[in-house]
């Protein structure tokens, strides 16, 4: 059977675990040459082995512009092009910070990666991208909600949604599509840590999801592949909620 991403080069930030890793595996299984980043070299090496398909790990932090330069320099050296960017790297906080308790350090940490890092992840990739390339941004249902104590995270993901709108207009003449995948509650290490730190929240979360369960990373990954493929060729600037219906219902 033909593979949708045969001959395509894909870059995924934060690809050493969770949604990023699951998505990298799916791309590799569909024939893509996958490049993933992660901050911990040992975990990155393990992820590359899991992904298979000749995947390449480039150690780095997506909030560090020099690390992004190294990623794209490696891709340019190896292939001279880039077909798909999944700007996935992001962070949240375990402990709520209601307005009145927000610190400068927390602001800089969340916006430094979720907004600044995501912006430059995409901007620095553009010289390698041609017509037909795609950009997928990892948002969140939090960008459409007002979860108490999470104003920094909520606002950072709302910024991601806004980026997709504007960049769709900015890049239309270049033939590059930009979309957002917005996960709901998803069974990742970070989410599990948050749920364990807040007993009772998981039950509340499940009750708010019509499908009555958390998602799994592969379900988010399949939505990313759809947005990256020619199957979504007439879709641009959208936010695709992969959330069990929690926003719609």
* Cα separation, 181 vs 184, whole angstroms: 10
**Sheet with 177-183, side-by-side order of all strands:** 56-59, 33-38, 9-12, 84-87, 134-138, 177-183, 239-242
Burial 213-248 (b: 16+ CB within 10 A, else e): ebbebebbbebbbbbbeeebeeebbbbbbbbbebbe
| CA 28 to mean position of chain CA atoms | 17
**Residue among 35, 153, 194, 234 flagged as catalytic:** 153
As a residue count, the chain comes to: 249
The answer to whether 24 touches 55, Cβ cutoff 8 Å, is yes
The answer to whether 62 touches 68, Cβ cutoff 8 Å, is yes
Does the annotation count 35 as an active-site position?
Answer: no
In degrees rounded to 5, what are phi and psi of residue 85?
-115, 125
Going from the C-alpha of 36 to that of each of 41, 210, 232, the distances in angstroms are: 11, 33, 23
Using DSSP, state whether 58 is helix, strand or coil.
strand
Tokens 């037909």, located at residue: 132
* Active site residue ranges: 153
């Amino acid at each position: 059977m033909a593979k949708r991403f045969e001959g395509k080069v894909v870059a995924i930030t934060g690809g050493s675990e969770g949604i990023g890793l699951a998505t990298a595996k799916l791309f590799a299984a569909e024939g893509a040459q996958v490049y993933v980043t992660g901050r911990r070299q040992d975990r990155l090496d393990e992820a590359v082995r899991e992904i298979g398909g000749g995947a390449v790990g480039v150690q780095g932090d997506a909030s560090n512009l020099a690390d992004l330069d190294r990623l794209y320099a490696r891709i340019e050296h190896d292939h001279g092009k880039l077909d798909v960017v999944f700007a996935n790297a992001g962070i949240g906080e375990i402990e709520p910070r209601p307005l009145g308790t927000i610190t400068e350090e927390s602001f800089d940490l969340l916006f430094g990666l979720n907004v600044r890092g995501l912006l430059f992840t995409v901007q620095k990739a553009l010289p390698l991208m041609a017509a037909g390339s795609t950009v997928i941004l990892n948002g969140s249902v939090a960008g459409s909600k007002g979860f108490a104590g999470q104003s920094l995270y909520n606002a950072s993901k709302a910024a991601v949604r806004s980026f997709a709108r504007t960049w769709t207009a900015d890049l239309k003449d270049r033939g590059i599509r930009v979309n957002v995948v917005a996960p709901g509650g998803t069974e990742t290490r970070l989410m599990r840590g948050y749920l364990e730190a807040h007993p009772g929240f998981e039950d509340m979360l499940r009750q708010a999801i019509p499908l009555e369960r958390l998602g799994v990373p592969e379900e988010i990954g399949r939505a990313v592949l759809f947005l990256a493929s020619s199957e979504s060729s007439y879709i641009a600037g959208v936010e695709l909620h992969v959330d069990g219906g929690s926003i719609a219902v």
